[in-house]
Amino acid sequence: MPGSAAVTRNTLRQQIADALRDEVLAGRLPPGTEFTVKQIAEQYEVSATPVREALVDLSAQGLLESVQHRGFRVRVYTLDDFRGMIEARTLVVDGIFRRLVERGTAPGSSDLLVSVRRRAEEAGRAAQSGSLEVLIGYDLRFWRELSGLVGNTYISDFLHRIRVQCWAFTVPYLKAAADLHAALWSGHGELIDAVARADADEVRRLVLAYNQHALDWAATLKPVAA
């Protein structure tokens, strides 16, 4: 088929981008790490073209930076960057939940609501046990699916990007935390319950508590050793 090579390349491009994003979010590619297209291509035993495209995609998502004549670098976010992310996240999430509570979920989303609740349960368990990498996976899926209940992919894509950036900032600090459990938010189940009940006051309380938890945690941070 004439288009099969393009499909294969695009699939490979996404697989490489996903793999590298997971490495960043797991802390195995710390902020400031530099690498070239050639190094990544050799690591995954693929050609340079899909690797270059994947790295450009991750740069557009804010996880990498292009370094002239040297390749790419994992972006280093500052505390001010993180506070800005929380502010943006707060505004987006508040709008999402106002829409869900006031107008209800998008048609045909009952099955998705069941899936979101399942993600909430898994995220809550991971947070309670301090399983950071597991929590990140379920947390991203939880918020992606929950925002998807609105039925607007632009909103869910935007929130997902912010959340990935938030985790990219927090992971190095969380991995060095003496009390990881205290740093993690685990209110996913309460939140989905409030959304299902269309309890606007409780939803707002939980969302405010969630974002305040992130800001309070950020206020305790000390620079992570390089």
* Mean pLDDT computed over every residue of the chain: 86
226, pLDDT greater than 60: no
Please state the rounded mean pLDDT for residues 37-65: 93
pLDDT per residue over 6-44, tens digit each?
445 568 999 999 999 999 999 999 999 999 999 999 999
Please tell me the predicted confidence (pLDDT) of residue 182.
79
Please tell me the predicted confidence (pLDDT) of residue 24.
95
pLDDT per residue over 93-145, tens digit each?
888 877 777 766 655 566 777 888 999 999 988 988 888 999 999 999 999 98
Please tell me the predicted confidence (pLDDT) of residue 134.
92
Please tell me the predicted confidence (pLDDT) of residue 7.
40
- For the chain, domain boundaries: 4-74, 79-218
150, pLDDT greater than 90: no
- Percent of the chain scoring above 90 in pLDDT: 54
Choose which CATH entry (1.10.3110.10, 1.10.10.10, 3.90.25.10, 1.10.3720.10) describes domain 4-74: 1.10.10.10
Please tell me the predicted confidence (pLDDT) of residue 212.
92
Please tell me the predicted confidence (pLDDT) of residue 109.
62
Residue-wise DSSP of the chain: -TTHHHHHHHHHHHHHHHHHHHHHHTTSS-TT-EE-HHHHHHHHT--HHHHHHHHHHHHHTTSEEEETTTEEEE----HHHHHHHHHHHHHHHHHHHHHHHHH-PPTT-HHHHHHHHHHHHHHHHHHHHT-HHHHHHHHHHHHHHHHHTT--HHHHHHHHHHHHHHHHHHHHHHHT-S-HHHHS---HHHHHHHHHHT-HHHHHHHHHHHHHHHHHHHTT--PPP-
Domain 79-218 has CATH 1.20.120.530: yes
Please tell me the predicted confidence (pLDDT) of residue 163.
94
92, pLDDT greater than 70: yes
Contact (Cβ atoms closer than 8 angstroms) between residue 176 and residue 224: yes
